[in-house]
Amino acid sequence: MQDFLDELDNELDGGESVSEADFVEQKQPKPAVSEQRKPTPPVKNQPRQKTFSKNKPDSKNRPETFVPQKNFGTFVSRFPDVKFYLPTLRDKYTRFIPIGGNNETGAKNMGMFQYGDDIMLVDCGVQFADMDMLGANYSVPDVSFLTKYTKNIKGFVITHAHLDHIGALKHILPALDMPVLYGTRLTLGIIRKWLEEAKLLDKATLIEVDAGSDKKWDVGPFKVEFFRVNHSVPDCAGLYIESPGGAKFVHTGDFKIDFTPAIDAPADLTRISEIGRRGITMLLSDSTGSSRKGFSMSEKNVGEALEKIVSEHTRGRLIIASFSSWISRIQQLIDICDKHGKYIFLSGRSMVENVAIAKELGYLKVKEHIMKKMTPKNTEGIPPHKQVIITTGSQGEQFSALARMAVGQHNSIEIVQGDTVVFSSSVVPGNEKSVVGIINKLIKLGANVITKDDGEVHTGGHAFQEEQKIMINLVHPKYFMPIYGDLYFRTLHKNTAKTIGYKEEDMVMIENGHIVDFAPDGNLFRSRIKVPIQDIIIDGHGMGTLGSHVLKAREKMMNSGVLVLVYKVDKRTRALLGHIKLETRGLVYLEEVRDIHRMIIKKARDSYEHTVKDVPDIEEKDLIKVLRSDLETFVSKRIDREPMIIPMVVEV
Ligand SMILES: [Zn+2]
């Protein structure tokens, strides 16, 4: 509890800290309104406690003891216990369950295939926090129901290296006893870095596959073949999955079709069409780009637009914000800068790290003479118009390199009049406000800002409707399941499939946790049983569910602030000793502040004295409940707000 208060002291502004003494000892008449705004001077012989943290009760009296996390520096992976057992799978039947990614777009992607008792998992992504998660860092797929099946899990197949497909591995791998991972070289390279940071690498088994080869991998009873697709990170794979029960699946992962990608080979349409001739039971296909008509633009067009900007840039620095995993974009920039005699500086930790990994694995051909280290000293001697800075922060992320530049806190780069900032990126839905915020700050500093609205400086990584049609046509499945998207995007994708002849009954529209089983003849059966899937949130090193009391408390504090009352009482007689102290955070009021505090403290005293008199042997936890409830009613009536109220009884 004390740590909680200390944290509040550090985190929240606008708090009030007062003691009953501030009122009861002050016998002067009520000051005029204008004087009330002045801070109250400390009362003589009653030094005012500025904050609680300086008035820590001794350890014996601390209401709760803080136990530091033993596993600090590693990651928590204790999922809640659930009493759920997978329904028995009939002989020769094959099962699919989306665990994450079907109720959300571009987040938390994960699915499972089952045959007999054996399970194979596909992808394992995170979802980054939005306002609904109230300060939690991110959420991960709920694998609580799988933790009792760890012996049955034969492997994890990973389609590509984006965090919404790999970011939850560090939590989920240990929870599932470290199943074997299959992925392409770059995908595993980036996973390796994450597992190393989480101190899990030495326990992990990673098997490298080649998406260009038609080799079939045995993952438990399943045969899995990887094929090449295009996307916004190189070395992406789609999957062909064959079950001994006869069901055959194609899982696209994230994909687009680009005939002129920058460094990858184009999506392997020949092989996809060959796979389609095997008689596919169900296609699971990426719905992220479902709302976009036509074909997505090629990465090559972006290169041309960027080259025009770089070559014509003659004044100030050129700062290009992009995703750090967009290796092909970075390669294009390296080549362009080389051609036009410019120097590249990388800014942002993930940018530097991903470039290092891609370079080491041979995906990025870096020309050392143009790549400079980012320090204030190293930019010296290079005229600003020769400097091209590739930076993270295209989504307006609060602590990113670009955000630091925008507020003048970047170590090496100070934005000045005449600099140009290019957003070679699109805005992920939900980030619009932060991005516009950064753009405003950059313009204020004198920068010229270019976004994809001003030119072809970005293309997305997901198939538009015409590419989605190509995939469905080539694979030609019996059933079609739009995946990776909330209901809206999946429905748009379904509608696209209808335009090429698929019927409503051919579509599999299911949410996370729904179970579909396929008979040996390929017919589909939907189970009425649903896997319980909750939102599992990660907050620092802690893990919990979205419905937990922690988030409810945060919501209350966020909406209405916090009010803490400390009662010092005699351990034996339970009589109140001295003054009740009141501490508030985040409650907004001005002129009436002293009156309100006075009223609350009076109510707090009355409520305590009455309760202890009426029930002299009341237990402390019940006493606290009564005090809280009395005060909640009172505060709600008087100031029409419902702050979180924390009464604390300190026995001495
Ligand atoms: Zn992706």
**What number of other Cβ atoms are within 10 A of residue 206's Cβ?**
17
Instruction: Please name the residue that has the structure tokens 């209405």.
Output: 560
E runs forming strands in 247-342: 248-251, 282-286, 318-321
The answer to whether the beta carbons of residues 252 and 468 sit under 8 Å apart is no
Identity of the residue numbered 200: L
Residue 537 pLDDT > 50 = yes
Residue 190 alpha carbon to ligand 1 centre in Å: 13
Beta bridge partners of 453: none
Q: What is the pLDDT of residues 564-596, one digit of tens each?
A: 889 999 888 888 888 898 888 877 666 677 788
Residue 176 alpha carbon to ligand 1 centre in Å: 24
Residue 122 alpha carbon to ligand 1 centre in Å: 13
Give the whole-angstrom CA distance, residue 45 versus residue 55: 16
Residue 616 alpha carbon to ligand 1 centre in Å: 63
Query: Encoding tokens for residue 406?
Result: 């925008």
Given its phi and psi angles, is residue 247 left (phi above 0), alpha (psi -120 to 50 degrees) or beta?
beta
Domain ranges (residues) in the chain? 2-72+547-651, 94-294+461-539, 299-450
Q: What is the largest CA-CA distance in the chain?
A: 92
Q: Tell me how far CA of residue 75 lies from CA of 136, 172, 538, in angstroms.
A: 15, 10, 9
Query: Encoding tokens for residue 425?
Result: 């990126």
Let me know if the fold of 2-72+547-651 is the same as that of 94-294+461-539.
no
Angle (deg, nearest 10), helices 465-475 and 269-276: 50
Q: Which of 609, 557, 619 is nearest to 12 (CA)?
A: 557
CATH superfamily of 94-294+461-539: Ribonuclease Z/Hydroxyacylglutathione hydrolase-like (3.60.15.10)
Beta bridge partners of 311: none
Give the whole-angstrom CA distance, residue 249 versus residue 402: 42
Instruction: Please name the residue that has the structure tokens 């320090």.
Output: 375
**Element containing residue 581 per DSSP (H, E):** strand 581-585
Residues by chain with Cβ below 5 Å of ion ligand 1? 162, 254
User: pLDDT band at 131, cuts 50/70/90?
Assistant: low
The answer to whether the beta carbons of residues 235 and 187 sit under 8 Å apart is yes
Residue 167 alpha carbon to ligand 1 centre in Å: 11
Residue 554 alpha carbon to ligand 1 centre in Å: 32
Residue 231 alpha carbon to ligand 1 centre in Å: 7
Q: Which of 647, 630, 627, 646 is nearest to 638 (CA)?
A: 630
Residue 132 alpha carbon to ligand 1 centre in Å: 23
Residue 461 alpha carbon to ligand 1 centre in Å: 7
Give the whole-angstrom CA distance, residue 133 versus residue 130: 6
Identity of the residue numbered 293: K
Residue 361 alpha carbon to ligand 1 centre in Å: 19
Give 3-state DSSP helix, strand, coil % of the chain, rounded to 5.
35, 20, 45
Identity of the residue numbered 79: F
Strand order in the sheet with 16-19: 16-19, 581-585, 562-569, 644-651
Residue 161 alpha carbon to ligand 1 centre in Å: 7
Cα dihedral across residues 98, 104, 107, 108: positive or negative: negative
Angle (deg, nearest 10), helices 620-639 and 593-614: 150
**What number of other Cβ atoms are within 10 A of residue 379's Cβ?**
20
Residue 162 alpha carbon to ligand 1 centre in Å: 5
What's the pLDDT at 280? 98
Q: Strands 387-391, 318-321: parallel, antiparallel or unpaired by DSSP?
A: parallel
Cα dihedral across residues 7, 10, 13, 17: positive or negative: positive
Residue 256 alpha carbon to ligand 1 centre in Å: 10
Residue 160 alpha carbon to ligand 1 centre in Å: 7
What's domain 2-72+547-651's architecture? Roll (3.10)
What's the pLDDT at 374? 79
Residue 232 alpha carbon to ligand 1 centre in Å: 7
Query: Encoding tokens for residue 353?
Result: 């790290």
Residue 217 alpha carbon to ligand 1 centre in Å: 23
E runs forming strands in 329-483: 343-347, 371-372, 387-391, 420-423, 448-450, 479-483
Instruction: Please name the residue that has the structure tokens 């300190």.
Output: 650
What average pLDDT does range 236-241 have in this prediction? 98
Residue 219 alpha carbon to ligand 1 centre in Å: 23
Query: Encoding tokens for residue 3?
Result: 């740590």
What's the pLDDT at 43? 37
What's the pLDDT at 548? 61
Please tell me the pTM assigned to this model: 0.77
Residue 570 alpha carbon to ligand 1 centre in Å: 62
What's the pLDDT at 68? 32
| Least confident piece of the model among 65-74, 100-109, 233-242 | 65-74
Residue 121 alpha carbon to ligand 1 centre in Å: 17
CATH superfamily of 299-450: Metallo-hydrolase/oxidoreductase (3.40.50.10710)
Q: Tell me how far CA of residue 175 lies from CA of 78, 143, 536, in angstroms.
A: 6, 8, 13
Q: Tell me how far CA of residue 53 lies from CA of 10, 177, 304, 394, in angstroms.
A: 10, 42, 59, 39
Q: Which of 70, 81, 67 is nearest to 175 (CA)?
A: 81
Give the whole-angstrom CA distance, residue 137 versus residue 332: 33
Residue 289 alpha carbon to ligand 1 centre in Å: 12
What's the pLDDT at 639? 78
Q: Strands 94-100, 514-518: parallel, antiparallel or unpaired by DSSP?
A: antiparallel
Q: What is the pLDDT of residues 260-295, one digit of tens each?
A: 998 889 999 999 999 999 999 999 999 999 999 999
Residue 602 alpha carbon to ligand 1 centre in Å: 58
In percent, how much of the chain has pLDDT > 90?
Answer: 58
In 20-168, which residue ranges form alpha helices assigned H by DSSP?
21-24, 33-36, 163-166
Residue 541 pLDDT > 80 = no
Beta bridge partners of 517: 95, 525
Give the whole-angstrom CA distance, residue 282 versus residue 275: 12
Residue 276 alpha carbon to ligand 1 centre in Å: 23
What average pLDDT does range 528-541 have in this prediction? 86
Beta bridge partners of 242: 223, 248
Residue 149 alpha carbon to ligand 1 centre in Å: 28
Q: What is the pLDDT of residues 602-648, one digit of tens each?
A: 999 999 998 888 888 888 888 888 888 888 888 888 877 788 888 99
What average pLDDT does range 195-214 have in this prediction? 95
Identity of the residue numbered 287: S
Q: What is the dihedral of CA 486, 515, 535, 131, to 10 degrees?
A: 10
Number of residues written out for the chain? 652
**What number of other Cβ atoms are within 10 A of residue 25's Cβ?**
13
**Element containing residue 309 per DSSP (H, E):** helix 299-312
User: pLDDT band at 535, cuts 50/70/90?
Assistant: confident
**What number of other Cβ atoms are within 10 A of residue 383's Cβ?**
12
